[in-house]
Amino acid sequence: MSEIQVKDLILNAIKNRKVNVLKELFETVPTIDIAEVMDDIEDVSLLLFPFRVISSEYTGELFAELSSEQQEKIINAFSDKDLIKLLEESYADDIVDTLQELPANIVSRVLRVAPTDLRKDINQLLNYAENTAGSIMTTEFLEMKNTVTVKEAISTIRAKGKDAETVYTIFVRDAKRTFVGTVNLDDLIFAKDDETLDDIMDRDFVSCHVNDDQEDVANMFKRYDLNAMAVLNKEDKIVGIITIDDVVDIIVEEANEDVAALSHVAPLEDSYLDTPAWRMAVKCIPWIIILIILGTFTTMALDRIEKTAIFTLIPVLISFVPTLMDTGGNTGGQTIALMIRGLGTKEFGPKDFLRIIGKEALTALIVAACVGAFGFIWFTVEQYTGIVTNEKLFVDGVAATIWNGKCWTGAFASQTLAISGIVASTLFVGSFLSKCVAVMLPLGVAALKKDPAIVAQPILTTIVDVVSLIAYLLIALGASHLFGIF
Amino acid sequence: MSEIQVKDLILNAIKNRKVNVLKELFETVPTIDIAEVMDDIEDVSLLLFPFRVISSEYTGELFAELSSEQQEKIINAFSDKDLIKLLEESYADDIVDTLQELPANIVSRVLRVAPTDLRKDINQLLNYAENTAGSIMTTEFLEMKNTVTVKEAISTIRAKGKDAETVYTIFVRDAKRTFVGTVNLDDLIFAKDDETLDDIMDRDFVSCHVNDDQEDVANMFKRYDLNAMAVLNKEDKIVGIITIDDVVDIIVEEANEDVAALSHVAPLEDSYLDTPAWRMAVKCIPWIIILIILGTFTTMALDRIEKTAIFTLIPVLISFVPTLMDTGGNTGGQTIALMIRGLGTKEFGPKDFLRIIGKEALTALIVAACVGAFGFIWFTVEQYTGIVTNEKLFVDGVAATIWNGKCWTGAFASQTLAISGIVASTLFVGSFLSKCVAVMLPLGVAALKKDPAIVAQPILTTIVDVVSLIAYLLIALGASHLFGIF
């Protein structure tokens, strides 16, 4: 059955209130697919229908997957009793995710009707700073003492496991309530009934603290191939756990943030399709305006340089300005992108500064030399073929090119090669400098604990543009004085 | 204990061949941390020492975490008997990852000594195309018939589970060997002994086929919060499974590829720190050269335009060219970045074309209007303050600015505002066009099943640069004819 047919089936079952068909669908179709169909339903009574007739084991998850707009409608339509039942079927971290998107009056209603234990958990999670381990952890997990036997542990799981976010990892504490190890469910299955958790637990666990950055937590999951991780408070006692499914979302979110920052967009809070045009514009405009203001330095440098004697005399030099500036930006942009992702995924940090700078300096030299050499040939081709034309070298009023054979006359060769040399040398200087600045800026910004993705690139472009233009003028002047070509 | 102290402890234990200390360390320190220390050991006999003395439950994982250079040294030093023991302790998918990095003679030695079953698995995995589900799956998993009881299932897990990559998900097949559902380990724990897998299994599972793209697989894990997924062949029989720890690596890899492509670097195969400078240069140079060649169109357009009567008469117009081109590139770049990540994470696809294009057209209009309006003000400020100067408006040989009060004279105001208007109008046209092209290009490229990240941006820059320059000339000519200002 195709995806569209399934969606039609779900919608029909809801619209025609076919209880049995709907029950069958909930058994066989992933809940998020059903939630997606329900996100498009306008009529509140239709929206509530599945919650009335479907087994409560599905409704908690269904509610969590709905858009915040639909969640708001449902909470408003629910009696307090319905709401309590729904909350009991949901995990505290899912409820918190929901509450963060909803208006204050709804939040206070939810907190008012929530059972005391759940309210405590929700309040605790709501109070951790955004993007910390505390804000993404769940407080429903299995914690057992290290003296518990395997048999006791399995019966505890049978009794309490349904309320925990994961039963695959059991967190073990000692008599002082300090976290000392983890036991995986498969270790229990393989162990003898009378062994204690202390006998079989992993002691080489990794854990994090409530205030750790979620990106660091995600990198630990990746590095150590974890399924769940304990979140500790200052006294090294477990206050919550983070599971791998939350981490997958964080990794995607952080990657999207890096791409957005490198492309000068403020990160979107909602999914792209759910963000209206005016809010997209708000995310886009500020950076464009900042970049125009930063670009003023470039405008000023170009305005001064184009009025110098040599540029007035050889206006063709101006034609190469976009190539010089684009190439400088592109070579530096490559390095910045590698730095940002390396720093973001903790592949390296500011401590590797010397090693990275040595390598990038060598890379920059090789790239700049190759690009400069290619540029010399290409700019010569551009002049010989008349892609750019030098008015000073017009013969009988027409541009000298290989097409009309006039390029072999007189001063053409020497002046053409001199121009290629000036532009190619500037390209070499600009590319080398750009890559060197591009490696130092992100590492420097990261060492100051700021986000390098946002700050580094606009500053790089401005520096490279202005320095390239000044180098261009100096190299042109130097060539003209030394060789007296123009 | 700090990270550095732990590293010293490991290194000392190996160097001084302290068996007990090393055993203790393997119990308490994550294996990847030990592997990282061992990556820096040059002496082969030291490198082999842990493999000789440490329990075989750790050596398979240790070997998999080492760099390919060290793996090669170890395989060369191992007798066939040692090698068989090592292979038996490793998962087929880890061995395949290792083999893909090693020289052909070592690969054939490994295949020669591997037990028949393992060799079959390795060969199968090696034959799937890179980046497909088949190439990342593992062939070690628990498959049971739907008529098996819970009690039988648990004893099978006890007997065979140690060889499977995960025991948390059991894959259920019917009498015809068709895959019909999954049972999670916790479902077994909660179920009664005499229930069959058919009674308790999830039927709303999702699965993939061997030739599916690994990025699509990763998106399914994210969407459905999976821990493991079945990989099916054409006859819908399971041939392998993919587990979430492999998916985390894929998500990071795909994000890095998007960032690299948007920044014009070929993706690195190794980690950044392990890639030597010359290879970095090889990854960087081709795109820079392609971009210089594409930039030729811009050079040509600028060369023609700067020689037109109006630009020769008002050379100050040239000073704004970098701003116009950078802003066009930046506004389009924002949209391309959102498109690339949205397409990459399957948030939307070419089927959403109409909805996206409508929204982006509106966004583009808002952004272009705001940026144009800001530009008009800012370019006026630039002229009044003398950041750019118009030679035609010099009074007594000096540039007219607010600083010397000469900007209030004669034609200054009208000509200054006319120039701001021309540049701002071009900015409006360029920004609007750039965002519109930026939304259509990636969707078009994706519809052709090519990677939009690589192809879209260079083409965008070229189109926007050339069209902006032509628009600039036409708007300037239009203004001059209509209002006769210059």
Q: Are A304 and B383 a contacting pair, CB within 8 Å?
A: no
Which H, E and C letters describe chain A, residue by residue?
A: CCHHHHHHHHHHHHHCCCHHHHHHHHHHCCHHHHHHHHCCCCCHHHHHHHHHHCCHHHHHHHHHHCCHHHHHHHHHHCCHHHHHHHHHCCCHHHHHHHHCCCCHHHHHHHHHHCCHHHHHHHHHHHHCCCCEHHHHCECCCCEEECCCEHHHHHHHHHHHHHHCCCCCEEEEECCCCCEEEEEEHHHHHHCCCCCEHHHHCECCCCEEECCCEHHHHHHHHHHHCCCEEEEECCCCCEEEEEEHHHHHHHHHHHHHHHHHHHCCCCCCCCCHHHCCHHHHHHHHHHHHHHHHHHHHHHHHHHHHHCCCHHHHHCCHHHHCHHHHHHHHHHHHHHHHHHHHHHHHCCCCCHHHHHHHHHHHHHHHHHHHHHHHHHHHHHHHHHHHCCCCCCHHHCECCECCCCCCCHHHCCCHHHHHHHHHHHHHHHHHHHHHHHHHHHHHHHHHHHHCCCCHHHHHHHHHHHHHHHHHHHHHHHHHHHHHHHHCCC
Select from A259, A365, A431, A464 the residue whose CB has the most chain B CBs within 10 Å, as the one to mutate to test that interface: A259
In the predicted model, is pLDDT for residue A372 greater than 90?
A: yes
In the predicted model, is pLDDT for residue B178 greater than 90?
A: no
Of A282, A257, A271, A269, which is closest to residue A454 (Cα–Cα)? A257
Chain B positions touching A322 (Cβ under 8 A) are: 295, 298-299, 302, 321-322, 325, 465
- Quote the tokens at residue A462: 């401005």
Does A340 sit within 8 Å of B273, measured CB to CB? no
Q: Give the minimum alpha-carbon distance from A114 to chain B in angstroms, rounded to a whole number.
A: 26
How many Cβ atoms from other residues are within 10 Å of residue B467's Cβ? 17
User: What is the dihedral angle through the alpha carbons of A357, A361, A362, A366, rounded to the nearest 10 degrees?
Assistant: 150
pLDDT at A229: 92
Chain B positions touching A356 (Cβ under 8 A) are: 273
- Would you list the domain boundaries of chain B? 3-127, 143-250, 295-483
Of B292, B372, B365, B330, which is closest to residue A294 (Cα–Cα)? B330
State whether residue A251 sits within 8 Å of chain B by CB: yes
Chain A positions touching B337 (Cβ under 8 A) are: 259-260, 262-263, 265
User: What is the dihedral angle through the alpha carbons of A105, A110, A112, A116, rounded to the nearest 10 degrees?
Assistant: -150
Q: Band of the pLDDT at A410, cuts 50, 70, 90?
A: low
Please state, in angstroms and rounded to a whole number, the distance separating the CA atoms of residues A478 and A458: 30
In the predicted model, is pLDDT for residue A422 greater than 60?
A: yes
Of B285, B367, B336, B359, which is closest to residue B443 (Cα–Cα)? B336
In the predicted model, is pLDDT for residue A213 greater than 60?
A: yes
Q: What is the mean pLDDT of residues A280-302?
A: 89
Please state, in angstroms and rounded to a whole number, the distance separating the CA atoms of residues B357 and B446: 15
Please state, in angstroms and rounded to a whole number, the distance separating the CA atoms of residues B164 and B146: 19
A271 to chain B: closest CA residue = B347
Please state, in angstroms and rounded to a whole number, the distance separating the CA atoms of residues B421 and B71: 66
B25 to chain A: closest CA residue = A204
Highest average pLDDT, of A10-14, A373-377, B232-236, B307-311, comes from A373-377
Does B298 sit within 8 Å of A322, measured CB to CB? yes
pLDDT at A1: 56
Chain A positions touching B29 (Cβ under 8 A) are: 204
Q: Band of the pLDDT at B60, cuts 50, 70, 90?
A: confident
Highest average pLDDT, of A101-115, B122-136, B207-221, comes from B207-221
Q: Give the minimum alpha-carbon distance from A80 to chain B in angstroms, rounded to a whole number.
A: 30
Q: Give the minimum alpha-carbon distance from B260 to chain A in angstroms, rounded to a whole number.
A: 7
A396 phi-psi bin (left φ>0, alpha ψ -120 to 50, beta other): left
- CATH architecture of the domain covering B143-250: Roll (3.10)
A180 to chain B: closest CA residue = B28
| Nearest by CB: B337 against A225, A265, A465 | A265
B29 to chain A: closest CA residue = A204
Please state, in angstroms and rounded to a whole number, the distance separating the CA atoms of residues A117 and A140: 11
Q: What percent of chain A has pLDDT over 70?
A: 98
Taking the complete model, does pTM exceed 0.80, yes or no?
Answer: no
pLDDT at A196: 93
Q: Which class is B295-483 in CATH?
A: mainly alpha
Q: What is the mean pLDDT of residues A153-166?
A: 83
State whether residue A266 sits within 8 Å of chain B by CB: no
Q: Are B415 and B392 a contacting pair, CB within 8 Å?
A: yes
Q: Which of B 210-249 lie inside 8 A of A, CB atoms?
A: 221-225, 227, 244-245, 247-249
In the predicted model, is pLDDT for residue A147 greater than 90?
A: yes
In the predicted model, is pLDDT for residue B396 greater than 80?
A: no
pLDDT at B280: 85
Q: Give the minimum alpha-carbon distance from A187 to chain B in angstroms, rounded to a whole number.
A: 10
Does A28 sit within 8 Å of B203, measured CB to CB? yes
Q: For residue range A312-346, list pLDDT tens digits in order.
A: 888 889 999 999 988 998 899 889 888 888 888 88
Determine the residue type at B319.
S
Q: Give the minimum alpha-carbon distance from B202 to chain A in angstroms, rounded to a whole number.
A: 8
Q: For residue range A28-79, list pLDDT tens digits in order.
A: 888 888 888 888 888 888 888 888 888 777 888 888 888 888 888 888 888 8
Select from B206, B285, B370, B423 the residue whose CB has the most chain A CBs within 10 Å, as the one to mutate to test that interface: B285
Q: Give the minimum alpha-carbon distance from A397 to chain B in angstroms, rounded to a whole number.
A: 14
Buried-state track A122-134, b at ≥16 Cβ within 10 A, e below 16: bebbeebeebbbb
Q: Which of B 354-373 lie inside 8 A of A, CB atoms?
A: 355-356, 359-360, 362-363, 366-367, 370-371
Q: How many residues does chain B have?
A: 486
| Nearest by CB: A264 against B29, B167, B334 | B334
Select from A65, A185, A258, A284 the residue whose CB has the most chain B CBs within 10 Å, as the one to mutate to test that interface: A284
pLDDT at A485: 63
Q: Which residues pair with A229 in a beta bridge?
A: A242
| Listed range (A391-405, A420-434, B51-65, B369-383) with the worst mean pLDDT | A391-405
**Cα distances (angstroms) measured from residue B442 to each of B218, B262, B349:** 21, 12, 10
State whether residue A157 sits within 8 Å of chain B by CB: yes
Chain B positions touching A298 (Cβ under 8 A) are: 322-323, 326
State whether residue A29 sits within 8 Å of chain B by CB: yes
State whether residue A403 sits within 8 Å of chain B by CB: no
Burial (CB count within 10 angstroms: exposed 0-12, middle 13-18, buried 19+), residue A279: middle
- CATH architecture of the domain covering A3-127: Alpha Horseshoe (1.25)
Listed in sequence order, the residues at least 6 apart from B129 whose beta carbon sits closer than 8 Å to its beta carbon are: B135, B211
- Quote the tokens at residue B276: 């030597």
Specify the CATH number for A274-483; select among 3.30.70.360, 1.10.357.20, 3.40.50.2300, 1.10.10.10. Answer: 1.10.357.20
State whether residue B76 sits within 8 Å of chain A by CB: no
Q: Give the minimum alpha-carbon distance from A63 to chain B in angstroms, rounded to a whole number.
A: 15
Chain A positions touching B388 (Cβ under 8 A) are: 299-300, 303
- Higher pLDDT residue, A298 or B449? A298
Of B35, B165, B169, B166, which is closest to residue B93 (Cα–Cα)? B165
Chain A positions touching B391 (Cβ under 8 A) are: 307
In the predicted model, is pLDDT for residue A479 greater than 60?
A: yes
Does B190 sit within 8 Å of A185, measured CB to CB? no
pLDDT at A486: 62
| Listed range (A174-183, B205-214, B320-329, B447-456) with the worst mean pLDDT | B447-456
**Cα distances (angstroms) measured from residue A301 to each of A75, B319, B375:** 60, 9, 18
| Nearest by CB: A306 against B224, B318, B363 | B318
| Nearest by CB: B222 against A249, A318, A325 | A249
Buried-state track A140-163, b at ≥16 Cβ within 10 A, e below 16: bbbebbbebbbebbbeebeeebee
CA-based end-to-end distance of chain B: 75
Does A190 sit within 8 Å of B185, measured CB to CB? no
The pairing of strands B143-145 and B169-173 is: parallel
pLDDT at B486: 62
Helix axes A321-344 and B321-344, enclosed angle (nearest 10) = 40
How many Cβ atoms from other residues are within 10 Å of residue A364's Cβ? 27
Chain B positions touching A355 (Cβ under 8 A) are: 273
pLDDT at A2: 65
Chain A positions touching B461 (Cβ under 8 A) are: 326
pLDDT at B436: 92
Chain B positions touching A264 (Cβ under 8 A) are: 330, 333-334
Q: Band of the pLDDT at B2, cuts 50, 70, 90?
A: low
Q: For residue range B107-161, list pLDDT tens digits in order.
A: 777 777 777 777 777 777 777 887 888 888 888 888 999 999 999 998 888 888 7
Of B321, B375, B431, B343, which is closest to residue A284 (Cα–Cα)? B431
A378 to chain B: closest CA residue = B293
Q: Band of the pLDDT at A255, cuts 50, 70, 90?
A: confident
Q: Band of the pLDDT at B365, cuts 50, 70, 90?
A: very high
In the predicted model, is pLDDT for residue A9 greater than 60?
A: yes
Listed in sequence order, the residues at least 6 apart from B162 whose beta carbon sits closer than 8 Å to its beta carbon are: A190
State whether residue A40 sits within 8 Å of chain B by CB: no
Q: For residue range A345-371, list pLDDT tens digits in order.
A: 888 877 888 888 888 899 999 999 999
The pairing of strands A143-145 and B238-243 is: unpaired
Q: For residue range B242-268, list pLDDT tens digits in order.
A: 988 888 888 888 888 888 888 888 877
Across chain B, what does the average pLDDT equal?
Answer: 85
Helix axes A56-65 and A80-88, enclosed angle (nearest 10) = 90
State whether residue B274 sits within 8 Å of chain A by CB: no
Does B367 sit within 8 Å of A281, measured CB to CB? yes
State whether residue A465 sits within 8 Å of chain B by CB: yes
State whether residue A262 sits within 8 Å of chain B by CB: yes
In the predicted model, is pLDDT for residue A249 greater than 60?
A: yes
Specify the CATH number for A143-247; select among 3.40.718.10, 3.10.580.10, 3.40.50.800, 3.40.50.720. Answer: 3.10.580.10
Please state, in angstroms and rounded to a whole number, the distance separating the CA atoms of residues A180 and A199: 12
Please state, in angstroms and rounded to a whole number, the distance separating the CA atoms of residues B185 and B160: 14
Across chain A, what does the average pLDDT equal?
Answer: 85
- Quote the tokens at residue B385: 């303050």
Q: For residue range A118-137, list pLDDT tens digits in order.
A: 777 777 777 788 788 888 88
pLDDT at A164: 80
Does B333 sit within 8 Å of A319, measured CB to CB? no
Q: Which residues pair with B171 in a beta bridge?
A: B143, B182
In the predicted model, is pLDDT for residue A175 greater than 80?
A: yes
Token look-up 């793996």 returns: B71
Of A12, A80, A14, which is closest to residue A45 (Cα–Cα)? A14
ipTM of the complex: 0.74
